[in-house]
Amino acid sequence: MADLQAVFSRLLLELGEDPKRTGLEKTPARAANVFEALTEGYQKTLQDVVGDSVFEEKNNDLILLKGVPFYSLCEHHLLPFFGQCHVAYIPDGRVMGLSRISDVVHLYARRLQVQERLTDQIADALEQTLKPKGVGVVLEARHLCMELSGEQAKPGTTVTSCVRGAFRSRPETRAEFFSLIR
């Protein structure tokens, strides 16, 4: 943490600021705390997050967790991107506690990311943990690196999706998933 505070102090100096002036005295510590929170996903594994929250269950109907909020950092600019994630799967004898799905989203979002990889990592985690018949993940996000780029600012929402198994091979399952998240 002290090293990270020193980095933020140096950043203030590079910007022409005095890190010891009133108003900025505690900024390096605050910025270090926020940056650590935004990258806490590096400190955990999928097993840490899922734990013993996978259960044997005969259900084989689509399970959808819709609108999971997430916050991440763009690995190219270190600026936030944020939005909501929709995660669905069709069990094949195993289900996961619903709050753990949300935890999986946060595990990977709290790393330096690109949205495309984040989408795939969430799908990979569900496939690895549950071995479901199919998985679908959609992320809708705003990227501050696009929105804050001066005169050329480009506001908008970026949507990425990853569909596997039954969501890819069965058009009706894919259609059901996309209609449910609309």
Q: Is the confidence at residue 150, as pLDDT, over 70?
A: no
68 vs 182, which has greater pLDDT? Answer: 68
Q: Is the confidence at residue 160, as pLDDT, over 90?
A: yes
Dihedrals phi, psi of 171, to nearest 5 degrees: -55, -35
pLDDT of residue 19: 94
Q: Which two tokens stand for residue 61?
A: 């109907």
| pTM, rounded to two decimals | 0.94
Tally Cβ neighbours within 10 Å of residue 73. Answer: 21
The overall average pLDDT reported for the chain is: 95
Q: Are 119 and 86 in contact (CB under 8 A)?
A: no
Q: How far apart are CA 3 and CA 9, in angstroms?
A: 10
Question: What are the structural domains of the chain?
Answer: 2-38 (no CATH), 53-181 (3.30.1130.10)
pLDDT of residue 156: 87
Q: How far apart are CA 136 and CA 90, in angstroms?
A: 9
In tens, the pLDDT along 9-65 reads: 999 999 999 999 999 999 999 999 999 999 999 999 999 999 999 999 999 999 999
